[in-house]
Amino acid sequence: MSDLPSRMPARLAPERMAALLREMPKAELHIHIEGSLEPELIFRLAARNGVPLPHPSVEALRAAYAFTDLQSFLDLYYAGAGVLRREEDFFDMAWAYFERAAADNIVHAEVFFDPQTHTARGVPTGTVVTGLEHACRRAHAEFGISSRLILCFLRHLSEEEAFAALEQALPHRSHFVGVGLDSSERGHPPEKFARVFARCRELGLRVVAHAGEEGPAAYIEGALDVLRAERIDHGVRCVESPELVRRLAATRTPLTVCPLSNVRLRVFRDLAAHNLPALLDAGLCVTVNSDDPAYFGGYVNDNFVQTFAALPGLGPAHAYVLARNSFEASFAPAADKQRWIAALDQTFARYAA
């Protein structure tokens, strides 16, 4: 593997490997902030806002998190977001995420939010963005975590509705760096959103898109060719097209992979069956992320530790490449990337001793 630092541990015992994975500085590039809403916070916000909940207790709600596919998850995810009403609700949700991020040694986070989920209940986009942005600023001040917000369009809705969401978000343009595409993938190809993404590019917004999670490799090609996505969220089904894998490798188009999500949504049978090693072997710019940590059983360090434990072929060099890729693939300034990579090198040098 290229770009490895000069002082690297060759191999580590499992507990020491897990410690390195936890300790290494990293960026998270695929986290839906509404997917960080833990059941305890759902109940607290429901009580605060007088919102009735269908589940009688935190335990009953958590027990309902037995998903069979993406849609079965999305139904609960949108219902859970229904407790978010006021600016402080969005702040509290994002702040809880940043506290977890700090504990996981995340130094930079690019955070998705779904404004259409909230405007449908009459919550203005400004309420959402202002609450989230306040938490981003405080995370920088208290933890030194840098962050960016990325507005996602819901692909099960129409392009016209995406244009309306963009219009409502434009007064807050300075608070988000880019746009993404999420929600139900099958039957909603990227081509459906060609014009709204063209407009976003004209506005100078960065572009990412979910593709190749449940949908076919052709959706990844559509995201690249039609939306001009700079990163692909998930993208694990790229392996169904060797030509596409070669293209992604040659262009160093990042894939933001979410192993625990893929298992919970039955994209892979278990972590041992995940294709992360194949993606790394193909030379792709892969990163590890949590997606919707409150629903999928873990935050970013849980994803790293559990995935490495399940795939014994993965070792320190893979960990280094994944963390380094997360910085390379981010929309952060070059000087920040260099600083984080220097800190990453220092962490690995300590483990080489």
**Residue positions annotated with a catalytic role:** 213
Nearest residue to Zn ion, using CB?
291
Asked if 38 interacts with Zn ion (CB under 5 A), we say no
CB atoms within 10 A of CB 156: 16
70 binds, among Zn ion, ligand ADE, none (CB under 5 to 8 A by kind): ligand ADE
Closer to ligand ADE by Cβ: residue 9 or 35: 35
Q: Which residues in the 61-90 window bind ligand ADE by CB under 6 A? A: 70, 77
We find the least distance from the C-beta atom of residue 223 to ligand ADE, in angstroms, to be 13
Closer to ligand ADE by Cβ: residue 35 or 189: 35
Residue with tokens 């990579």: 341
What are the structure tokens assigned to 129, written together?
């963005």
We find the least distance from the C-beta atom of residue 61 to Zn ion, in angstroms, to be 21
Among 17, 26, 32, 105, binds ligand ADE (CB under 6 A): 32
Closer to Zn ion by Cβ: residue 38 or 291: 291
- Decide: helix, strand or coil at residue 315: coil
35 binds, among ligand ADE, Zn ion, none (CB under 5 to 8 A by kind): ligand ADE
Asked if 291 interacts with Zn ion (CB under 5 A), we say yes
**What's the residue count for the chain?**
353
d(Cα 27, Cα 45) in Å, to the nearest integer?
28
Q: Which residues in the 169-208 window bind ligand ADE by CB under 6 A? A: 182-183
Cα separations in angstroms, 269 against 16, 42, 77, 212, 338 = 27, 29, 22, 17, 37
Closer to ligand ADE by Cβ: residue 319 or 329: 329
- Decide: helix, strand or coil at residue 214: coil
- Decide: helix, strand or coil at residue 298: coil
Query: Residues near 223 by Cβ (< 8 Å), separated by ≥ 6?
Result: 181, 190, 209, 211, 229, 232
Asked if 36 interacts with ligand ADE (CB under 6 A), we say no
Asked if 291 interacts with ligand ADE (CB under 6 A), we say yes
- Decide: helix, strand or coil at residue 293: helix
Closer to ligand ADE by Cβ: residue 89 or 213: 213
Asked if 261 interacts with ligand ADE (CB under 6 A), we say yes
Nearest residue to ligand ADE, using CB?
182
Mark 139-178 with x for binding to Zn ion (rule: CB under 5 A) and - for no binding.
Answer: ----------------------------------------
DSSP alpha helix (H) spans, the chain? 14-23, 39-49, 58-63, 70-80, 87-103, 115-119, 125-143, 159-169, 194-202, 217-225, 242-251, 259-264, 276-281, 293-296, 300-310, 316-328, 334-352
Instruction: Give me the sign of the Cα torsion angle 78, 80, 82, 86.
Output: negative
d(Cα 152, Cα 156) in Å, to the nearest integer?
12
The CA angle 276-279-284, to the nearest 5 degrees, is 130
We find the least distance from the C-beta atom of residue 325 to ligand ADE, in angstroms, to be 20
What are the structure tokens assigned to 200, written together?
């976003």
Q: Which residues in the 2-21 window bind ligand ADE by CB under 6 A? A: none
We find the least distance from the C-beta atom of residue 129 to ligand ADE, in angstroms, to be 18
We find the least distance from the C-beta atom of residue 340 to ligand ADE, in angstroms, to be 26
Among 28, 38, 87, 213, binds ligand ADE (CB under 6 A): 213
Instruction: Supply the DSSP symbol for 236.
Output: G
Asked if 185 interacts with Zn ion (CB under 5 A), we say no
128 contacts 115 by C-beta, under 8 angstroms: yes
We find the least distance from the C-beta atom of residue 28 to Zn ion, in angstroms, to be 12
Which residues of this protein are in contact with ligand ADE, per CB under 6 A? Answer: 32, 35, 70, 77, 182-183, 210, 213, 261, 291-292
Which residues of this protein are in contact with Zn ion, per CB under 5 A? Answer: 291
